[in-house]
Amino acid sequence: MDSPPLTDTDRVLADLRALRAFGRDRTGVSRPAYSAADMEARRWLAARMREIGLAVSIDGVGNVIGRDPDASRAVLLGSHTDSVPSGGWLDGALGIAYALQTARAWRAAATGVGRLGIDVVSFADEEGAFLGCLGSRAFCGELSDRDMEAVRPGGVRLREALAEAGLTGAPLRGLDPARHLAYVEAHIEQGPRLEAAAVDIGVVEAIVGLRRQRIHFAGRADHAGTTPMAMRADAAAALFALAGELGAAFARVATPTSVWNTGVVRVAPGAANVVPVEAELVLEYRDVSDAQLDRMTETARALVAAAEGRGDVAVTMEDVGGLCPAAMDPRLVARIEKAAAARGASTMRLASGAGHDAMILAPHVPTAMLFVPSIGGRSHDVSEDTAEADIRRGAEVYAAAVMDILAGGIP
């Protein structure tokens, strides 16, 4: 392995702390896409990119793109700087600070025109104030006219938010297949696995796909004192039974990366003395394999059909969303593991259970992700944090992996 320029992890921490000032919320930040705090953070980032000699633009959806003007081909590094409301200070920001410092070091060390370079991107609205991964979707040419009609809960339209953020008329910038040879993103794990295993670095093999189904139960409202049990059509009882069956059946067909959740439960009319007339369950499940997602969908369908056939409660299921799994590039995965090993950092391959911009990039360009541990697995909360030593170690491994990719040919 070539000897990379020393990573100045003090600069990484300084950049992270500077970013935290925009939309600061106790120990975290509130920087929803296109808020004043989000746009200030983007302008701050653009200024930092200019300082290190990148050609910077903020495009029509707010992506901040810094292009190495002396490079003919480049590795693209990035993540996002928007946050959920009352989110953590590292979610997205960590990957940006790593990318910025790695580009800074490369620009300081590399010479010549027509060489390989580093471009840096901060994607807009990864967190989905309007649409999850909006910026990276636009960057990959996957944003439809219909997507542009998105409306935020509360009624603000995307086009209005873009206008208010001063982005109207700015051109969209896109991935350049002739220029961009790889995309590498660092992120906090947002889960407990690295901490639980006492491992330094997570090397992402794939980002899980997800599917969501809404299951609806239509029963009959009856007086809960006067109606014999055998004469009821109890929507809640049907929901409890199906939810129990789903849990047991999913546990049987699960792969090591399968997870599922029933986070939305509604029962109406919601009175202690009225037999529930209506109930609703939103089922979400994730896996790295589309075939496994198909298997889980079939499992759910069969149980819904059996429930529907069982009694007086009508049970129906409809799709309400989904994302395809995204595989990371195995050659890039190996480079990250090699860089970690060279620095004595322990690694663990894992699937990302959360979505990331890398999931959007992966079908278009060789893509890789690196995780650092999250304390207690906390995320999407101001309590989110990562030990300083883990932040520094991740920065070194990330920089070393990128330098190795640049030095070793891509990929």
Residues that bind a copy of itself (CB under 8 A): 189-193, 196, 208, 210, 212, 222-229, 231, 234, 236-237, 239-241, 243-244, 247, 251, 254, 258-267, 269-276, 279, 282, 284, 286, 352-355, 377, 379-380
CB of 269 to a copy of itself, least distance (A): 8
Question: Identity (one letter) of the amino acid at 100?
Answer: L
Distances (CA, A) of 319 to 21, 40, 213, 228, 257: 40, 38, 4, 35, 21
Q: Minimal distance in Å, beta carbon 25 to a copy of itself?
A: 17
Toward a copy of itself, which CB reaches closer, 45 or 235?
Answer: 235
3-state SS, the chain, equals CCCCCCCCHHHHHHHHHHHHCCCEECCEECCCCCCHHHHHHHHHHHHHHHHCCCEEEECCCCCEEEECCCEEEEEEEEEECCCCCCECCCCCHHHHHHHHHHHHHHHHHCCCCCEEEEEEEEECCCECCCCECHHHHHHCCCCCCCHHHCECCCCCEHHHHHHHCCCCCCCCCCCCCCCEEEEEEEEECCCCHHHHHCCCEEEEEEECEEEEEEEEEECCCEECCCCCHHHCCCHHHHHHHHHHHHHHHHHHHCCCCCEEEEEEEEEECCCCCEECCEEEEEEEEEECCHHHHHHHHHHHHHHHHHHHHHCCCEEEEEEEEEECCEECCHHHHHHHHHHHHHCCCCEEEEEECCCCHHHHHCCCCCEEEEEECCHHHCCCCCCCCCCHHHHHHHHHHHHHHHHHHHHHCCC
Q: Considering the complex, state which of residue 38 and residue 189 has its C-beta at the smaller distance from a copy of itself.
A: 189
Q: Which is nearer to a copy of itself, 39 or 221 (CB)?
A: 221
Min dist. Cβ of residue 318 to a copy of itself (A): 13
Beta carbon of residue 273, minimum distance to a copy of itself (angstroms, whole number): 6
CB 319 to a copy of itself: min, Å: 13
Choice between 259 and 334, CB closer to a copy of itself? 259
Q: Given the complex with a copy of itself, which of 44 and 240 has the nearer CB atom? A: 240
Q: How far is the CB of 287 from a copy of itself (least distance, A)?
A: 11
Shortest Å, Cβ 47 to a copy of itself: 33
Closest separation between CB of residue 59 and a copy of itself, Å? 28
CB of 364 to a copy of itself, least distance (A): 22
Using the minimum distance from each CB to a copy of itself, give the nearer residue, 262 or 299.
Answer: 262
Q: Which is nearer to a copy of itself, 111 or 223 (CB)?
A: 223
Query: What number of CA atoms fall less than 13 Å from residue 179's CA on the CB side?
Result: 16
